[in-house]
Amino acid sequence: MATPSAIIWSNNQLQLLDQRILPVQCEYLHYQDPFAVADAIRDMVVRGAPAIGITAAYGMVLAAQQINTSPASVAAWCLALGPARESLANSRPTAVNLFWALERCDRVIEEYGNGGQLLQALTALAVQIHAEDLEINQRIGDFGASLIPSDSIVYTHCNAGALATGGYGTALGVIRSAHRDGKIRGVFAGETRPWLQGARLTSWELMQDGIPVTLAIEGAAAHLMREHKPSWIIVGADRVAANGDAANKIGTYNLAIIAKHHGVKVMVAAPTSTFDADIDGAQIPIEQRPAHEITHSFGKRIAPEDVITSNPAFDVTPAQLIDAIVTEHGIIYQPDRSKVLAHLAEAKIK
């Protein structure tokens, strides 16, 4: 049984699988309003950097559909679409794919805004971004699988699978390809507090594909690495900086430090659209999530009232702790600024 699609575009309407209620319920929410799409991104109906980018592109299509009188110029289109674009851009600050997708929409507006075909062009772009992501994930999976030894146990954190992308996944794409090649003996999935993406989503995805998975509490990571000696920690990323630092779900930095102590390698699997060549890791904005996510569990208070909270959604793992970054164009071993920029330059040529 395959994992259902996180994003469906049908009859000029966007459907998003509500990932907040998985795996207990499998329900799609329907969207025709771009501001509601921005809320869906912010509220974690859809999550994962590639999926957020795809969703934002469809959000811009919905924004264009709402305009009754077609503007006659690029400037007029930018003015009309501006509020929806701003709302989408503000939905999640860390995931660079969001801005990458919106900038691709900007270029289409520049090209087609003076004619009468902008809506069709934006729709074609969103569909293209969606299809491209699936192909990209499959290439990442195959490159990453080439690094996995036979009979491996691996550890993954959060959810970087089909649910977080256009399909197949980045980190889980590597695991899927390695399992296809007969290399995976088992996968440890960290539960991933406070939204429990590892428990609710990753373990469910892997079970759908018949890949052996063991769910583990966050605090067991060091114990599991010592006892079971996984070959790799495999994670995705929401932003990879020019110097090779990688932002991913909070707790990834912890894992990389523990892995270094135990001689376990760390792999970041991410498309080149997740790279930000203009900043270093220290400059990556870290989203702070609402306090109730950690003071409450399933609607019930579990912490004292008025307790001060810290709820960062992401952390940044220094490049020195990363053994390989895998993209759709190949592998960056022991990443640093020169290697990252060279890889991105070569990817543009291709």
Positions marked catalytic: 238
Cβ atoms 57, 127 nearer than 8 A: no
Nearest to 238 by CA among 347, 98, 137: 98
DSSP 166: S
Cβ atoms 39, 60 nearer than 8 A: no
CA 9 to chain centre: 19
CA 291 to chain centre: 23
